[in-house]
Amino acid sequence: MKKWMLLFIPLICLWTQCASQKTAQRKAYENKLISETDRLIGQLDRMSAQGFQMLRRFQKIKADVLEKEKKRLSEKLGKRHPRVKEITKSIKENNKLTLALKTEIQKAEISVSDYTAQIWLVHGRVLNGQSLGVPGLTVSFFDQNQNWIEEPGYTITDAIGYYALTYCDKKNENPVLPETKELYLTISDSEQNILHRAGEPLYVKFGQIDYLDISIVDPDQSGTPPATH
């Protein structure tokens, strides 16, 4: 049995216990189940990040070797020789893979805070045209009439373009935002210009995590709060 499969044995046991509980006790088990799932996913992400880091080191070695070989062949055969063109193509492909690995490492290193059945989390990264994270942009929710929905607040993307919005039913009563409310994830710049607005709405779902990566072009990188109406 592989190492990552062993991580889920305690989770399966906890899920079995949760299913066997009466309604009054089930919520406590649900919270434990969510917390344990979060912890195990974090372990898997760390394992993935380590694997990606190792692969990235191999890619760096490969890139150095290709560059040295290109230089050697260029001096021997000329820059227009087919062998030089072929190795140039290999260098470009290797660079693309290196960039993709960097993105995957950043995603794997994202740490999600503990959450419960009373929290809805929407998180992800805002990326530019080169698939690099964009810092300093405002992420928030708007309704279908383009009004800012203040209850979930807003957040600013960090150094790798990561954002996280949480909405918590603190009193465990009827929330201000009903599950039928349409919420459109929106990205804006420092001048409150809309850079992206989701075409499909999200809905409040306590105990659920939604991960969304968003690609934008030529963003301004200085976040400010959304304007109220």
Is residue 228 in a domain?
Answer: no
My answer on whether 75 and 123 are in the same domain is: no
* Structure tokens given for 108: 């794997």
CATH number at residue 132: 2.60.40.1120
Domain limits at 196?
119-215
My answer on whether 65 and 138 are in the same domain is: no
76 burial class (0-12, 13-18, 19+ CB within 10 angstroms)? exposed
Is residue 16 in a domain?
Answer: yes
Q: Which residues contact 45 (CB under 8 A, 6 or more apart)?
A: 108, 109, 110
My answer on whether 28 and 96 are in the same domain is: yes
Which of the listed residues 61, 91, 109 is the one where a domain comes to its end?
109
Which of the listed residues 66, 87, 109 is the one where a domain comes to its end?
109
Is residue 227 in a domain?
Answer: no
My answer on whether 139 and 199 are in the same domain is: yes
Which of the listed residues 56, 82, 109 is the one where a domain comes to its end?
109
Total domain count, the chain? 2
CB 156, CB 75: distance < 8 Å: no
My answer on whether 25 and 85 are in the same domain is: yes
Please give the pLDDT value at position 40.
56
Block means of pLDDT (10 residues each) for the chain, length 229 residues?
47 52 56 58 60 72 86 88 89 80 67 69 89 91 91 89 84 69 92 90 88 79 59
Is residue 3 in a domain?
Answer: no
Q: Which residues contact 124 (CB under 8 A, 6 or more apart)?
A: 162, 163, 211, 212, 213, 214
Please give the pLDDT value at position 87.
87
Q: How far is 111 from 115, CA to CA, in rounded Å?
A: 12
This prediction's pTM = 0.56
My answer on whether 139 and 192 are in the same domain is: yes
Please give the pLDDT value at position 179.
83
